[in-house]
Amino acid sequence: MRRSAESLGKLSKTALFLRAGFRVTTAFRLDGKTAIVTGGGSGIGQAIAKQFAASGANVHIFDLHLERADATVRQIWEASGVHAAAVQCDVADAGSTGQIISGIAAKERIDILVNSAGISHIGRLDSTNEEDFDRVFRVNVKGVFHCMQAVMGPMREHGGGVILNLASVAATAGLSDRFAYSMSKGAVLSMTLSVAKDYLKDNIRCNAISPARIHTPFVDAFLREHYAGREEEMFAKLSNAQPIGRMGSPEEVASLALFLCSDAAAFITGADVPLDGGFVNLRG
């Protein structure tokens, strides 16, 4: 029987799209998946851990400071009643990181790894000493290496997975006074592309997000330490350095991370996705 115009008008847009052969995604869910988020005790890592838990994932929150990871676990429970696990982990320590991840893999399938742990450093080439250079390299580069290497075997064994690395606009754009930090994020981006290429046949996707300035507790602490009494002025200056006129939020990074780690992004690998308010392409 032919449907009347009135009855067709009552069909939802979703139903009409399905009838036309389109797949409609109403939410990016991670139900039944296990995710490891490093640096999950604060800032971007914390926002990602909270978003993943709210989207159905079983989240293991790695942080050098256990009390910070515990705080994230409490926030997740208070917000949604979801259990998460706090794990003290120094990603710069290969042996410890490998043992922790092996222990998780022995109990459950690891579907997602997000490498968010990292440190910053301010300085040019001539003002960066070897100790500072090595410290940044150990955390930002070797930390990512250790975690990816530790999950690779379990992911291959179980037929695939997703790795997401937090790079930075510093990897591809010249930033003043960020010599060691830029070096480390360039390495993160290169590792991302290499892993994406090498493990295509293992059904392992590897992507990177490159944020510009994101308003995290680190930014506030930096302003208090270096610009006491001028925090508001310098905050405005940093905000206006983004063409969009403000800093990004950790939650905005988390939303992009959720998409890239969900099945909705199954066709995306080897990508560096900017989240920069136009910083790279719209300056000047």
Cα separation of 109 and 35, whole Å? 9
* Ramachandran category for residue 88: left, alpha or beta (phi over 0 → left; psi -120 to 50 → alpha): beta
Strands (DSSP E) contained in 96-223 are 112-115, 161-166, 204-211
Cα separation of 113 and 38, whole Å? 8
Token representation of residue 193: 């592309």
Q: Which residue is catalytic, options 145, 181, 199, 279? A: 181
CA dihedral (197, 110, 185, 98) in degrees, to 10, reads: -110
State the angle between helix axes of 43-54 and 250-261 in degrees (0 to 180), rounded to the nearest 10: 50
Give 175's contacts (C-beta < 8 A, 6+ positions apart).
Answer: 169, 181, 182
CA-CA distances (angstroms) from residue 127 to 119, 122, 131, 177? 17, 9, 11, 9
Give 168's contacts (C-beta < 8 A, 6+ positions apart).
Answer: 181, 182, 185, 188, 210, 211, 212
Q: Tell me, yes or no, if 227 is annotated catalytic.
A: no
Q: Are 156 and 104 in contact (CB under 8 A)?
A: no
Token representation of residue 133: 């250079």
Write down the residue that tokens 């490093």 correspond to.
Answer: 38
The residues annotated as belonging to the active site are 181
